[in-house]
Amino acid sequence: MSHNSALSATFDPYEYLQIVLNPDGTITRKHSLLSGAAATSDPSHHTIPSKDISINQSNNVGVRIYLPRQALDSSSTVKLPLIVYYHGGGFIIGNVAASVFHNFCSNMALEFPAVVLSVKYRLAPEHRLPAAYDDAMEALHWITTTQEVWLKEYADLSSCFLMGTSAGGNIVYHVGLRAASQIDELFPLKVKGLILHQPFIGGVKRTESELRLMNNPVFPACVSDLMWDLSLPHGVDRDHEYCNPTVGDESKALDQIRVQEWKVVITGWNGDPMIDRQIEWVKMIEQKGVKVKSHFCDGGYHGIDIVDATKMKDLQIILKNFVLS
C-alpha cells in the first residue's frame, strides 16, 4: 500500500494504536511500543551495556543508560558526550524498553560514541501534559546529583545534548526552554544543544502537508488528533502551546538559548504530515536569533529513521557531526 493511499471510512484510531479507552478515562495499552528489550549490563560482542535505574518510584520515572563498549575497552581518560533521549509515542504509548527505541539508543551509543540516557516518563491520559515535561526535567536534575558510576566515570556532563523522537522531540523543546532558565540549578550539567527528531507538533487549522497526507496509513490525522485529545490538558485545543509552538510567547527562554549559544537541529521528511509545521517552526526560532540547522528530506514518513536501518545510519551520521562539531 502506498503511504498516500486513502484509509477506509471505518478506520479506527483506537484499534490502530492498540489502545482501549476505559470508563474512568484511563486507557489499556496493548501496543508493542510498551515492551521489548531488557537492559543488560554485561557487554558482549553484539550488545551495548545498559542498565535501568529508578529515580522517582512514586511517579514511576526512571532512566535507561547505555554505555558504549569504547568506554570500557579504552584506557583513555577522556569522557564522552552525554545524550539525554526522550522516546516517542504521542505521549500516550511508548517506553524506554520498546525495541525500536532501545535499538536506536544502542546504535547511537555505539556510533558516536556517547553515553546515552533514555528517560522513562509518565504517559497520558492518566498523566496529561505537562507531566511528561516535569518528569523530563526531573531526570536532568537527577543527573546533576547522582553518584551513578557510569555517568560519573564516563559521561562529560559539560557536553550534554537533549534529543527526542516525535513526542520526545516536543519534550526536548519544552524542557530546553525550562533548562535555559535554570542554568545555575543544573550545574555541573551543561546543555550544548537540542536535537528535535521529527518532532510531534500540531495546531487547529490544517496545513497543506496535513491536508495532503491526512489519510496516509503511517500517521493519519485521526491518530494524531486522538493523541492530542488524550494528552493535552482538559479544556484546551491544539492551539495550546504544548501542541503548537508558534502560538506561545517564549521570547525570554529562546533568548537564553541564544545567549548560551546552544545549537539546535530539527529533522524531518516530506512524507510526514507535520513537515510544514516543522519548517515554519525553524523559521520562528531563527527569527529569535537561535542557531538552527534543519535537515528536511524528500519522501519518507513519520518515524522512518528509527525503523529503516539505512535511514537510521544516515541520520546518525548527521547527528554525530552535529554533536561532535
Q: Which amino acids are annotated catalytic?
A: 166, 272, 302
CA atoms within 13 A on the CB side of 9: 0
Query: Which cell goes with 262?
Result: 546552544
CA atoms within 13 A on the CB side of 219: 23
Query: Which cell goes with 99?
Result: 525495541
DSSP per-residue codes, 53-92: EEEETTTTEEEEEE--HHHHH----PPEEEEEEE--STTT
- Determine the Cα–Cα distance for residues 183 and 45; give it in Å rounded to an integer: 39
- Determine the Cα–Cα distance for residues 143 and 55; give it in Å rounded to an integer: 10
- Determine the Cα–Cα distance for residues 243 and 262; give it in Å rounded to an integer: 23
Pair 122, 59: CB distance under 8 Å? yes
- Determine the Cα–Cα distance for residues 165 and 312; give it in Å rounded to an integer: 12
What stretches of the chain adopt beta strand conformation (E)?
A: 19-21, 27-29, 50-56, 61-66, 80-86, 115-120, 155-165, 191-197, 263-269, 291-297
Structure letter (DSSP) for residue 275 = H
Edge-to-edge strand order for the sheet containing 80-86? Answer: 50-56, 61-66, 115-120, 80-86, 155-165, 191-197, 263-269, 291-297
Pair 294, 267: CB distance under 8 Å? yes
